[in-house]
Structure 1
């Protein structure tokens, strides 16, 4: 089997919001047929594997309207105009806003397309170590309505969630697999 490129013949933004837009495309296929594509164009984001020590990370338990439930996930946030050239700035901001921590070291781990079947959403995954609390007068405000419980979990606890199918957030699964890779 051979993979063929599609040719976009027209495109139109049918929704535009602050975080994402929806584009509809008309495409020509390799076999001469035509098709439509709906694509969610999403602002790039960062996720952070925030280490307390080599055996423990901090996860957030927060309500997500999209699934109508609470979920455990790594700290994350979207890039804004300050961050596109240096995504690690967003890491510093999100650690402050969400964990109320600063990192002694921040390293880029990897990047990935989150939901390639319908979206161009791209996430940069970072590792943050040597966390220290931020003084209250230096804490940034959280996003409107953002609430969360911070949960420190060991590798074995996160692995248990992974093994039982209870670790379901894609960025957090990717971060866990990277953590597992780091452990050799």
Structure 2
């Protein structure tokens, strides 16, 4: 039977702009104590950006954490401008990363990314009827953020999924949602 732990003590070891690291001492139901290291992460959004009903826009970008390029849906953390309004973050990320905008945005779901060590939570949205953002209204990208935009059909995504080529959690989750709403 699953049993709840009791928090004895918590200390923040690191405070940063995106995440904090906390260490906890907990008491187990058995009476023993254990240590938990937790990454406290700001919430984030991800967007399944539809070019049309059969195509989405993905980003290919370098990720230092894995030392490689990855193909993923647009995403970003909520910051002071949109911490209480994830749709504002969706609009901002669509502008910054895809240079697109739309009013046709819908929340799909939310999920914890890695509950084994982090409270990171991501809101997943769809965006339809994307239109280019005029050059003078484009927001700056994050420092060092470069990417290639790739338009992919559903059949191409399905083939990548079947070959095990999709390895980004939010992108896999978005693809499975897309397959679900298509009835596949």
Where on the TM-score scale, by shorter chain, does this alignment land: which range?
A: over 0.9
Structure-2 residue corresponding to 1:3: 2
Structure-1 residue corresponding to 2:50: 51
**Aligned-pair Cα RMSD in Å:** 0.6
Deviations 1:75-121 (A, max 9, x none): 00000122222200000000000000001300000000000110000
- Runs of 4+ in structure 1 off by over 3 angstroms are none
Structure-2 residue corresponding to 1:101: 100
Matches of 1:16 and 1:160, distance apart in 2: 41
Matches of 1:53 and 1:179, distance apart in 2: 12
Deviations 1:2-31 (A, max 9, x none): 111000100000011100010000000000
1:1-184 alignment runs, 5 A limit: 2-184=1-183
Matches of 2:101 and 2:27, distance apart in 1: 49
Unaligned runs of 5+ in 1: none
Matches of 1:118 and 1:138, distance apart in 2: 39
Q: Give the number of equivalent residue pairs.
A: 183
3-state SS, counterpart of residue 88 of structure 2? helix
Matches of 1:144 and 1:81, distance apart in 2: 17
3-state SS, counterpart of residue 22 of structure 1? strand
Matches of 1:64 and 1:85, distance apart in 2: 27
3-state SS, counterpart of residue 102 of structure 2? strand
Matches of 1:176 and 1:20, distance apart in 2: 27
3-state SS, counterpart of residue 57 of structure 1? strand
TM-score by length of 1: 0.98
Matches of 1:119 and 1:161, distance apart in 2: 28
1:62 Cα shift? 0.1
